[in-house]
Homo-oligomer: A and B are copies of this chain.
Amino acid sequence: MELLKQRIRKDGKIKDGHIIKVDGFLNHQIDIALLSEIGKEFKRLFGKENITKVITIEASGIAVACLTAQHFNVPIVFAKKSESKNIDGDVYKTTVTSYTRGKDYTVILEKRFLTPQDRILIIDDILATGKAQRGLLDISRQAGATVVGIGIVIEKGFQGGGDRLREAGYNVQSLAIIDSMENQTVSFRE
């Protein structure tokens, strides 16, 4: 998606060679107009899949998931980190390792929000090692739901998570795949 790549080149900040900060438009401050275009692009890519639900993990996936689900006329469900008094016991649970935060956390999703009839589109802002997406795949598997695709805004191709998911048979569509960030320059996969 050319508009997105231009924005990454303009506003993305490379840190430590492995982390790219896109928090000026994607996951801290959010450019709603850009996300709406991103949602349209996911609709173009997955529009024929009879999707019934968009799922993501809090927090930074929620904005992209909402602006995508709008184009599909389906609800979103976001998996929650850790437990609160406000969550029923009847939940799916899985463990996710955060690359950025360097620790494990539990994510939960209430069972009544996913059924075996659901055809799921997993949406996330960033795919690096794929741990967060595998957490959502695990929850979908527990629910007996069908994952019809994984839509990612920015894939860090050099970390391999996206390609491993593709090799496992998933339809992973990333709107920008970064293959390297050497010398403070972002190179995208063709």
Residues in A lying within 8 Å of B, measured CB to CB: 15, 19, 21, 23-25, 28-33, 35-36, 58-59, 62-63, 66-67, 69-70, 73-78, 80-81, 84-86, 98, 100-102, 109-110, 112-113
Complexed CA–CA distance, A102 and B85 (Å): 8
Number of this chain's copies in the complex: 2
Complexed CA–CA distance, A113 and B26 (Å): 13
Complexed CA–CA distance, A59 and B69 (Å): 17
Nearest opposing residue in chain B for A98, CB measure: B84
Kindly list chain B residues whose C-beta atoms are within 8 Å of the C-beta of A63. 62-63, 66, 76
A28 and B100 within 8 A (CB): no
Complexed CA–CA distance, A7 and B33 (Å): 29
Nearest opposing residue in chain B for A86, CB measure: B100
* Residue among B28, B67, B78, B102 making CB contact with A66, cutoff 8 Å: B67
